[in-house]
Structure 1
């Protein structure tokens, strides 16, 4: 019994450990993007739009098939009514029924069915591009949020490390104060610096939590407290994308970015709508075949004086009709002409829109390239400033330790060094994101 209890306790601890491990999962950028695409409501709605586009395509294919219908009726007639069997007026009460089958097929309507199918296929492709664009936008948003968390983490680590040095200075200054080497004001100054740094740490922790919260909500993860991402080391940043000219990247972007594909596809759909509108000028030709029969309780056999039975009447009064139906449009209140005019204007509008999308994309790529170049310069400059501020702070620390400098000068040097460290972190992640954007325009997945 004791062994069973021990095993149960161990098993319970195992499950608790597993639960704790699952709660402490750290997400990679690829996992975040993949999960966001799976959970995003807009993506799910676009998938439904794709299903609707497939249904429209299937319906367009089905329009080539003939239709087939059945009809039937039953009635009780009183007073003067036409007997459906004799087609004569009879002033009596009788029952009657009729039924039939019919089928029709469109032979020619200006290739309307064929153009409708082509339009449905174009629309299905356009929905695919819309879905891919939405995925790209979500991926970029998640990547930006991911990098923001990394930047906030790095900033927090720097603040904690700097505060650790400050606490060591407080301890050393307290000893020097007791020995009479330094005045009490120096200790108070360093304690004030410590309090300021603690405030900065609290603010940095809050900023980090908010950035995690934002990404967790984008992923629709409710366990905000335990959500975290993998700490990725971006000290070595590949800059190969900058080896390409902005013109080369823009040309590649026209092939890769879905905005241009969507604009081009919408233009094709509008051109197909124009072709469909023009089919209204053509005559339509359709074929039909029908079979009908009828029955009446008032139908009497003239030789026997008895009512003709139901089955015999169905055979006696049946008939088949086969033929063609031609419809020639002559005047329909200028409906077709105005629809054609609207379609032409829509085509011209979408041609201009496609040109504008290409121009906007080129402008965006050149701006992104310029931002990446400037981010690189800002990052390199921030590193140089950080190195210089670090040397200055170390020198100020040495001067303070030997009593040549006071705590105020040390605090000023430390503040400048902290600012330099913050600038390095900010410019580094600005540079990383600008490179990610350029790679995206070049067709490289954002998760690479």
Structure 2
């Protein structure tokens, strides 16, 4: 299962902190349990398993019992072989068995085809789970991003509050005019608005994750995770070619397409088996009881013992002409097999495109992440310098506000770049395994 892969990338997640706080592993497990599409695919797998079992059971003989009761009114043939006006009744009992000895290997090919169908259903189920896991991981990362943006908003408010307190002290001591506080108060109001928006975005991200998990109650839903830096410490894999070569051996969509092609190849052989004769063997046992009114009849038990009969026989069926149905069935099966072969090529091409796009996206996100790290250092230094200038009276409040706004934007861009990079790495890792 791919769950262990994502969890390994996220490192060892801490256990649930509270009743409403979930780790990534718990989110994925809940989503896999609740998702309707996965449940439907599990039912489809169960149906394929039953079909495979039925195909194997066709090798067994069939055994059937029969019983009949007839009542005859009017003229009936008597013991002297003449018809008489009398009523009679007849009871018949029998058991028969039949087994196919040779059918052109149709049953064998059918078993192989149903086995391949079952394997394809298992691969489809794995693909559904992969898609669900990456959806949960994506939504989980989005929650972490919104949490960090909210933290940035809170930190900016705390920084502004500290500046306001410092200026109020200067105003009290007469070293600064009262008007110097108004710009900070306006800035504080804007930052409070940004915080409210960040809180709303976090709630929406949590709602999105909870809906993907299909939770019944998510009013107090929250997540717990380690710092995202641990996610992106491994870096981008070596090359898209290496990822693609590994994916060819492991990806469930490739396996599913190959299994469907194998099944269609067996169906071609099944169609061709209709060209060969079929041979079956049968055995029957029967007995009966006959009662005619107006004359003495042996007892039921005696007649049952005396009327026993057994038979053994072989049945050979040789196809000669069936309106070209066998020929057309073979052609249709061959066309289906050819189409499934093309489907394998199509899945491989699509997978190659996805890997190359994911690889380039990861490289771009990595470069953006590194660039924002440098921007953070320069932004913090620019804000520190603007703060010193303002404190020394060499800068006005607007210049300080501009430096602080620039730093806030840089921190926001850095957080988004960081989580985008983590998301791109998730995509690559899932495509590889």
TM-score with structure 1 setting the length: 0.87
Do the aligned partners of 1:37 and 1:43 also contact (CA within 8 Å) in 2? yes
Do the aligned partners of 1:186 and 1:406 also contact (CA within 8 Å) in 2? no
Do the aligned partners of 1:94 and 1:298 also contact (CA within 8 Å) in 2? yes
> 2:279 aligned to 280, 285, 293, which one?
285
1:33 and 2:39 aligned: no
* Whole-angstrom distance in 1 between the partners of 2:195 and 2:37: 37
Deviation at 1:175, TM superposition (A): 4.1
1:285-341 deviation per Cα after TM superposition (whole angstroms, max 9, x unaligned): 1111112222221188xxxx5222222222333322221112222232322222211
Do the aligned partners of 1:96 and 1:295 also contact (CA within 8 Å) in 2? yes
Residue equivalent to 2:41 = 46
* Whole-angstrom distance in 2 between the partners of 1:248 and 1:88: 92
> 2:338 aligned to 348, 370, 392, which one?
348
Structure 1 pair 252–405 and aligned structure 2 pair: CA distance change class (3 A): same
Residue equivalent to 2:60 = 65
1:211 and 2:205 aligned: yes
Structure 1 pair 354–90 and aligned structure 2 pair: CA distance change class (3 A): farther
Structure 1 pair 332–87 and aligned structure 2 pair: CA distance change class (3 A): farther
1:97 and 2:91 aligned: yes
Which structure 1 segments of 5+ residues have no match? Answer: 1-20, 444-448
Of the structure 1 ranges 274-283 and 104-113, higher mean CA displacement relative to structure 2 is found in 274-283
> CA RMSD for the aligned pairs?
2.3
* Whole-angstrom distance in 2 between the partners of 1:397 and 1:65: 89
* Whole-angstrom distance in 1 between the partners of 2:146 and 2:413: 12
> 2:186 aligned to 188, 192, 199, which one?
192
Residue equivalent to 2:13 = none
Deviation at 1:238, TM superposition (A): 4.7
* Whole-angstrom distance in 2 between the partners of 1:334 and 1:402: 100
Deviation at 1:180, TM superposition (A): 5.8
1:38 is paired with a residue of what secondary structure? helix
Of the structure 1 ranges 92-101 and 102-111, higher mean CA displacement relative to structure 2 is found in 92-101
* Whole-angstrom distance in 1 between the partners of 2:53 and 2:47: 10
1:194-248 deviation per Cα after TM superposition (whole angstroms, max 9, x unaligned): 1111111111111111211222232233342332222411235555453522111
2:281 is paired with a residue of what secondary structure? strand
Structure 1 pair 322–124 and aligned structure 2 pair: CA distance change class (3 A): same
Residue equivalent to 1:437 = 427
Deviation at 1:177, TM superposition (A): 4.6
Do the aligned partners of 1:24 and 1:228 also contact (CA within 8 Å) in 2? no
1:288 is paired with a residue of what secondary structure? strand
Residue equivalent to 1:338 = 328
Task: Count residues in correspondence.
Answer: 418
Residue equivalent to 1:109 = 103
1:142-183 deviation per Cα after TM superposition (whole angstroms, max 9, x unaligned): 111111111111111111010111122233334445566555
Residue equivalent to 1:5 = none
Structure 1 pair 97–201 and aligned structure 2 pair: CA distance change class (3 A): same
Residue equivalent to 1:18 = none
Deviation at 1:428, TM superposition (A): 0.4
1:61 is paired with a residue of what secondary structure? helix
* Whole-angstrom distance in 2 between the partners of 1:247 and 1:318: 75
* Whole-angstrom distance in 2 between the partners of 1:155 and 1:87: 105
* Whole-angstrom distance in 2 between the partners of 1:133 and 1:385: 40
> 1:159 aligned to 153, 158, 163, which one?
153
Do the aligned partners of 1:241 and 1:439 also contact (CA within 8 Å) in 2? no
Residue equivalent to 1:170 = 164
Structure 1 pair 139–70 and aligned structure 2 pair: CA distance change class (3 A): same
1:410 is paired with a residue of what secondary structure? helix
Do the aligned partners of 2:271 and 2:326 also contact (CA within 8 Å) in 1? yes
* Whole-angstrom distance in 2 between the partners of 1:31 and 1:315: 70
1:331 is paired with a residue of what secondary structure? coil
Which structure 2 segments of 5+ residues have no match? Answer: 1-15
Structure 1 pair 82–30 and aligned structure 2 pair: CA distance change class (3 A): farther
Do the aligned partners of 2:383 and 2:403 also contact (CA within 8 Å) in 1? yes
Of the structure 1 ranges 308-317 and 66-75, higher mean CA displacement relative to structure 2 is found in 308-317
Do the aligned partners of 1:74 and 1:97 also contact (CA within 8 Å) in 2? yes
1:110-144 deviation per Cα after TM superposition (whole angstroms, max 9, x unaligned): 11111111112112211211111111111111111
Structure 1 pair 241–398 and aligned structure 2 pair: CA distance change class (3 A): closer
